[in-house]
Every structure is written in C-alpha cells, then in structure tokens.
A and B are shown apart, each in its own frame.
Chain A
Amino acid sequence: AKIRYVNTYRLESRKKFRDCLVRDKAQAILMNKLQQAKYDGISSPSLCASVSEEILKAVKELDFDRYKYVVSVLIVEKAGQAMNVASRWVWDAQRDSWVSAKFESETFIALALIMACYYD
C-alpha cells in the first residue's frame, strides 16, 4: 500500500533548484571525465552512461528539496555530419527548469541535459 503523508500545506520547494550551480557542476564533471578521452566505438557507450550517472549523483548531492531529475547525455563523434537536437516539455513553467552543458574535444562533442521537475 502507498504510504500516506500528513499534509504540510507547502506549495513550494524549500530549497529551490539553482541552475547556475548545476551548470557549473555539470561542466566540471564533463571536463574531468572527458578531457583525456578519445572517441572510441567500444568504450564510449559505457563512458556516456557513467558520465550521466555521475551528473545525477552530483545533482542529488546538491540536495534541492522536492525535485525529480532526468539527466540525458549525448556523445557524438565528429565526422563532418550535421546533427539537430530538439526538446519540448509539458510541465510547470514556474517550478521546473533545465540546464545544459557542452564539452567539445578534437574527436567528439558531448552534450548533457539536466531537467528538474518539482514534485510534491
């Protein structure tokens, strides 16, 4: 059975999501993990997954109150092709937000998208 909580009558988060903090953290993690890496068909998938988990862990550590997170990381090899990324959401414009961080090296481009949704 689902746990039932007593009403707190709080409509807002106690510690709101701060995009500047998250963007800096995400950019730092991308730099740390990907500076030395070269695009490699074998190791890149696991690298991609581990970067996304690390970013999720770091955002959870920042401990914003009442948020659910979705972190998406894209690693694309640079080969002169064109690429287009688009995203749309149906959410609460006043309480939810997103942050993106990019890292570019000689052989690949990495893009991280972090979305935080208020939940009570």
Chain B
Amino acid sequence: MPRDSLITSESDIDVGLELAGDEDEFSSHPEEHERERHRGKRREGDREKKKRGHGKRRKASRSREREEEVQARPDKRERERRRRAKSDRETGGRQRDEEGKAKIKSGKVAKTKKNITNEKTKKQEEEEESEDRNAKGKKKHGSAKKEEKQEDGGRHREKEKTKEVKKKKHKKVVETSSEQETSEQEDNGEEDNEEKEVRPESLTPEELERLKEAVDDRKKLIQVLRGKPWPMKKKLVTLRESQQFVEKYEGALGKGKGRKLYVYKVMMTKKWMKFQRDFENFRTACIPWEMKIKEIESHFGSSVASYFIFLRWMYGINMILFGLTFGLVMVPEALMGRPYGSIPRKTVPRAEEASAMDFAVLWDFGGYAQYSVLFYGYYNNQRAIGWLKFRMPLSYFLVGVGTVAYSYMVVIRTMARNANESGVGDDNSFNFSWKVFTSWDYLIGNPETADNKFASITTSFKEAILEEQESCKDDNIHLTRFLRVLANFLVLCCLAGSGYLIYFVVRRSQKFALDGLENHTWWERNEVNMVMSLLGMFCPMLFDVISALENYHPRVALQWQLGRIFALFLGNLYTFIIALMDEINLKREEENIVKFNITTWEASFYNGTVSENSTGLPFTVQPADVPRGPCWETMVGQEFVRLIISDTMTTYITLLIGDFLRAVFVRFLNHCWCWDLEAGFPSYSEFDVSGNVLGLIFNQGMIWMGAFYAPCLPALNVLRLHVSMYLQCWAVMCCNVPQERVFKASGSNNFYMAMLLVILFLSTLPAIYTIVTIPPSFDCGPFSGKKRMFDVIQETLESDFPAWFSKVFSYASNPGLVLPFILLMILAIYYLQSTSKSYKEANVELKKKLQTQNEENKKKNKRAALKAQMDLEEARKAAEQQQNNKASLQDQEADVEENHGSSQSLSHGKNGRNPPPHVRDQELPATRAPVPRTYHHGNHGTPGHLPGFPRQSEHRMYRVPSLQRH
C-alpha cells in the first residue's frame, strides 16, 4: 500500500523514480514471496479450523444428507462437472495471470484486497449455485455447501499429502486429482475420510487424459525450470512438488509392460544426453595443439594463429594421405610382395653395392633407400600378391588417384564451408558490442591464461579499432592510386626479372648437362637450385618493401603480398618441372639404349634364344648383376623427395639463424653495443605469416605431384609438419615479437584455401600428364610391361570382373555416351551456379531490407521516446495546474476538501495500477486454496525479459491512466 501510493503519486513526475521503486521491489521480492507464503499457510490453517467447525454440524446432518444424496446425485454430478470446467477455466486464467506476474508485489494491499474479493466471489458462487437449483429446497443448498466444503477438504488433504500447497501454478493438476478423489468419495460413500491412492483402473478415459496432460505439463515445467530466472528457493520447491507429482501419477498412466518400457525410455534418454555431453567434451579435448595455438593467438593475434591452424589442418590431410599410401601400398608390398633381393628391381646393382650404405648416398635417397618400398621402382608388376591375392598394381594406381581426389574434395568442401560461414553470419553488425560483452572466456582459471586472455582481448580491440579507423580514413585518393600503380609496376618488373633469370639459368644448366657435369664447379652444377632459393628468399622482402608504398589495409596488403609471392613460387615450380621433363626425356632415350643392350646381352647369354620377359631369368644369374633401365619414375620420386628435404632444411635453418640467433644476439649483446639493438636496426623478427603459409602450400603441392612416384612422400611430410609445428611454435614464442599492425585473419582463410586449390590443380596437371602420356619403364614399378599406366584398370576389368561388366564398361566409355554426359554435367553446373547467384542476390536484398527496417525502428523509437517526453511534460504542467487549482480551492473551502482529497488519493493508491475490482471478481474463484495473489506488472514468465526490470512500454501503459486521474 505505501509503496503503491508512492509510485502512483510520483510516476507522473519521473520515470526514473518509478524505476527505482520497481527495483526496490525486485530486490526485496524474495522476502516478500516468503512472507506471502507464510500468510498463505496461515490462511490455510484458518480454513482448516473453519472446516472442523463445520464438520460437527456435518456429522449431525449426515444421515439426512445421505437420503437426499441418492436423489440429488445426477444433479450433483452435473454440477460437479460444470464446476470443474469452470475451475479449470479459472485456473487457466489464473495461470496466465501468474505467467504474467510471477513476481509478488507488496503484500498488504494484495492481501486485504484478496480477502475482500474472496468473500465476494464466494458469495457470487453461492448465488450461482442457488440459481442452479432454484427448485431445490434450502436443505439441498446446505448440503451443496457442505459438499463443497468436503471437496475443499479433499483438496486440502491431497495437498498436504503431496506438499503442493506452495505452488499455485500447478493448481490445475492438483485440482483435477482432488476432484477425482471427491468423485470417488461420493461414489464410495462420504464418510470415507482416509487418504486414498488413486487407482488408475477406476479412472475414466477422459480423466486419464487430463491426468496425462497434467503430467506432461509438469514434465515440461521440470525441463524448462532451469531456464527460469527465479531464485533457487522457488525453483527447488517447484521442482520437488512437480517431481513428486510426476512420480506419483506417471505410473498410473502406463500399465504393466508399457510402464516398464516407459521407465526404460526415460532412463535411456537421460543416459544418452549424458553420453552426448561427455562425447562433446572428449572431442574438444582431442583437438591437437589447441592450447599451443591459443597461447600463440593470445600473444600474437589471430593472424599468426591462423597460420598454425592452417598448419594443423594440413597435418590432418597429410595424415589421411599417409594412411592411404602406407596402408594400401607400402605395407602390403613389404609384407606380401617378394622379399628384397629376389628380383633385379628389388636389388641394389652390383656397381652401387659398395656405397649403398653410405650416409651421403642414403641422405640423397640413393643406395638401399632407392631400392625399397619408398620408391616406385621397387614395386613388382605381379598382378596379385600374397595369400590375400592383393591386387598390387591396381591398388597402387587407385591410391594415386584417390590421393588427388580426396585432396580436391577436402579443399573444396572446406572452401564451401568457409564461404558459408562468411556469407551467412552478418558479422559486422555488432562487432564492438560482441567484443565488449562476449570476449571474456569464463572458463579461465589459470593466472597465466588469464594474462594471455587480457593480452588477446586488448589485441582484438586494437585490431577492431584499427579496422574502424581504416574504414573511416580516406585521404588523397589520387596519390594512393598513383602509388599503387607504381608498386604493381615494380612488382611486375621483379617477377619478369626473376622469370628471365630462372630461364637463363636453366638454359645454361642444360648446356652444362650436355657438356657433362663433372667438368664444372659446385656452383655451376647447383646453379638452378641456388638461384631459385635465393630468389625465393629475397623477392618477398622486395615485395614487402614495395607494398609499403601502397598503403593498403593490412589484410588486403597481406593478400597482395601472398599473390605476388605465389606468382614467384609458381614460376620457380614450373621451371623445376620443365627441367624435370627434360630429364625424363633423357632417361627415356637412355632406356631405349639399355633395352637394346639387354636384348643383345640376353641373346648372348642364351645362345640366341630370346626371352621376352626380362624378369624370368634363370637363377644362375644374380639379380644384382642383371643390367637394367634407368627407371625415370624413381628418378622423379627421388627428385621430389630431395626437394622436400632441402626445402625443410632451408626452412629450419632460416628459422634458427634468422630468428633464434638474431634474437639471442639482440638480447645478449644489447647492453654492450653502441646503439639500441632491440629498438634499432636488427631488433627481433616478426612472424612472417604470408611467407610461411606459401611455403606450406608449395610444399603440399610438391607432395601431391610427387606422391605417385614416391609413396613415402606423405609420410615425410607428416614428419615435417609435426616437427614444424613444435619448432615454429617454440620459435614464435621465444624469439618473435608481435606484429606492430595486428589484424584479424579470419577473412584470409579462404584465400589460403583458394591458393591451395590452385596449387593442387597445377600440381596434378604434370602428374596426370606423365601418367597418361609417358609409357612406364619396362623393368621397374607396378606397371612395367604395360603400354600405359592406366591399362591396369582395363586389365582388372577383363580378368577380375564378369564379361558383361567389361562390355557395359566399354559401351559406357563410348564417346557417344561420354560426350552427352559431359554436356549434361556442364549444364548442371551452369544451372547450379545461376541459382546460387540468385540466392546470393536475394540474400543481399533481404539483408538490406533488414537493415533499413532496423534503422526505421530506431527512428520510430526515437520519435516515440520524444513524444513520451512531451506527454510527460504536458502532464507535469497539467498536474501543476491542478495543484494550483487545488490550492486556490483549498483557500476557499479548506477542511472539506482536505478530507475528500485524502480519501480519493487513498482509493487511487489502492487501485493504482490494477484493473478495476469487478474484472477480477470474475476471475477469482470462490473456493480456492490460499495462494498469495498479487498484482504486479513485472512479468517473470515471458522469456528474455529481465526479472524485476519491467519493460518501458509497460510503464507507459500504466502511466497513462494514472495521469488521467490526476
């Protein structure tokens, strides 16, 4: 009451005050709730007393009643039903009410009001009932009353039993059950006052239905209970009673078998949920190097971390490639194929035997390493090996194809997913707010991590600020444009120069090769490699310097830089491939000579008998002594392996010298040097994201190119990446400094992927070219003796599949069928592309619409706020005027008016924010367990609304009537 009046009198003056009042209410609300509950109990006690009093009278009149009971039963039944329906309706309304204002408001007003209304409703209901039975006598009226009492009592007992007094939300269910009980009691005779278990058999289907509904309601409540912003006490009570209720009546629903099944089902869902949660935890725990990367991210920002994430992703892919080649090619050959030394291709030739175990030779992947499962040449062309009849050549071919196919699939899928992520989420609409409110990781419990997190949050804010400034900045467009054009020109010059240099060097080396390598110096022999790595080292630096001219946003600058280095590396790679092709052609010429020699050698050996199969030699000749071809496939594989090794070494050595030694030098010589090393010239190095990413990508390209000829390449790469991960993590943490211009790299992820895709395509091209056009060597590898490598498919189709299959296949490979199919595919691609384009357009359109709507809303709200302010102003003026009037009136008739006024304000206070009393009367039932009835406009139940913080619109709603009254 006091608060209520306070609010009504002040609400027209200031919203803020009202808010404060509400908040007070909120903070004190639990106590009040408690109080209310006590009050409820007390009232209940009162009722019990009353009932007892009535009980005496009841006993006296019972016999008489029973006589009448018989006649009145049908009537009563009907009445009963009607009442039940009505009470259901009422509870529904009440529930809604409750939903709206689950919070309890200042008690006294509510209580007094409630008492009044209770009485009123009681009277009303009595009237109703008397109307119902106009024809019946007064006695019947009395008995009806009594019955009502009894029902009340029944309800009461029920409540005591289940301890469900405190919650009125579930009143409905309680009531249904109690009513059932009463009806049962009626049937069984009224003096039965003992507690009774509900027997499911005795329930009618509709009652059962209702019970079921109630149980479902309870269950739903239990599920959502956790989401209710109530204090724990309230939750506890609600939960306990709901659970008890469910437990009690659930059994009644399912009988016999069904019940067991039901229990089982419930149990299983619980278990399944738990399992899912555990599995999720397990999965997150299984991500490798997560902590390391997080640590780096916290220190160096997301761009450096993105490199490591990319590295991890690559590692995963290489693991799978490694699994494929290792499990399906290397292991079967090693276990089931012919052992080492059994045939010429599996033996080190006599001439090399002496040095085959030397480290220098092994390091170059010659000697024993060359004649092992690591390289193409070792594999036999036997169609099926071992007791498993493993089709080795087929497996070799399919693994080669599968490696490439899998890589394509993974890269494209990742790209699509990234595009999805960046396409759908409207990332930038709440950029700063999200950063402010969601960046803290509430899991952190370790001081060091917390420090890291602080650092990373600060970094991310700086990134965001930088980006924001970047977007705001537009100074002298002409100058920047000119500078950018200039920079691109310079870069093009660089690229052209390096391309010419490589071309020149390669031509020179070819000349040297024709002369014979022995006549030349070390530099002349290794010129191509050296020039390539030198270019790879210095050109990026040059590009970096040039890109300073362009004045791009760091992210854009990074992309440009990446593109340029990409072009450079690509040039290098292709010159390498061209050189390799030349070498292959040389080897093939050599092979022809060797082939001829072998035939003559064999002819001499067999005295003129020509054997067409060189592997089927008589055992008198040692396999090591058999002359053999150069085997260009193994040579290619060796080249790639060497390249990978040297590349890895270069990376590691640059890392050690360029980063580690530099850091050591700067750190420890700083205090005995003439200038400040840390701030001045050498300083610490920054982590070069673009260079490292490109190195990784090109490395991967080489793996894809060479994996067909050297099955060991994926294994090597896995090793390399594994070591890289640890080494680079360590190097970054110990000798690099964070970049000065930190930026977020999430946008460039797909850029990496795109480059990877390009590289994948470019690296599969030469591999496919060699597989398709160059015939395999005649005496080494799984495809020896065939015209082309893919003949193995044909062979398998002919010998391993039924005849009809190969027929079908030959029909299917008919150009008449293939061409339309390709056409169809192109059409499908075109169709899909155009639909995706239109979707994208629609998406953009919708986004635009949403944005405009948002803006409009903002404007509207602003206008509304303004208007409300105006209203307020007016109202205040009006109030002032009224007061003035009042004052003048008071001057005239002081004492009379004073009394009147006070009473009026009192009534205002009572009704302040409540609907008029007569409205409530209809809602309020006559006989109702004592429940705290409150009227409060703060809505607890509506999801997403803060408890105790009423919405503004509601203020307005309530404020208006109070304004008018004044």
| A and B held together in a complex | no
A interface vs B, CB < 8 Å? Answer: none
